[in-house]
Amino acid sequence: MVSTIVMSIDYIVKSPQVCGGAAHLAQTRLTVHSLIGQMKDGATIEELLEGYAHLPLTRAQVHAALAYYYDNQAEIDALLGEEALLLGQIKRESIDIRRDSEEFITAREASERLGLSAHSSQIAHLCQEGKLTCKKVANRWFVSLASVEAYAAGNRKPGPRQSIPHSTSKTA
């Protein structure tokens, strides 16, 4: 008697806490819709493997993403459509920021100028508190360079304090 063995290959997972619940490659944050979007834009499997060599991405994972796409095309196409709308919004608002007479820099650049961690949310908090002049484009903060310079020159918190030179000379 011949028995059938069903094998499960768990390359694609969904978790509400990872990638906003979107289908992604197991043990990565690389979403299926990201891979499919790149392929729709003309990327080959070889280019994807090379581009994600740091994961390392395997041919089997790419094919699993393609299989997931074919089984869930409406879901993936909807996510790609949402990303296209968001990208369009970012491009339009970025153009508006560049047209502004005031110079804006990214939150990462502002963090570097203020000596803050680029991975913290301190810039966003300073923007929300009105301590920096900011514009939010989609989910990214752009910060007025003038407000960063003024904040750096003032008595500011949070972040590392400016070191005050200690005098070593004694007065008689």
Predicted local confidence at residue 164, as pLDDT: 43
Predicted local confidence at residue 162, as pLDDT: 46
Predicted local confidence at residue 158, as pLDDT: 53
Which residues in the chain come in under a pLDDT of 70?
Answer: 93-101, 118-120, 137-139, 155-172
What residues are paired with 142 via a beta bridge?
106, 135
Predicted local confidence at residue 123, as pLDDT: 86
Predicted local confidence at residue 171, as pLDDT: 43
Predicted local confidence at residue 9, as pLDDT: 78
- pTM for the full model? 0.55
User: CA end-to-end span of the chain, whole Å?
Assistant: 105
Predicted local confidence at residue 122, as pLDDT: 85
For residue range 108-129, list pLDDT tens digits in order.
888 889 888 766 678 888 888 8
Predicted local confidence at residue 161, as pLDDT: 47
For residue range 8-36, list pLDDT tens digits in order.
778 999 999 998 899 999 999 999 999 99
Predicted local confidence at residue 31, as pLDDT: 93
Q: Where are the alpha helices (DSSP H) in 72-157?
A: 73-99, 107-114, 122-128, 145-153
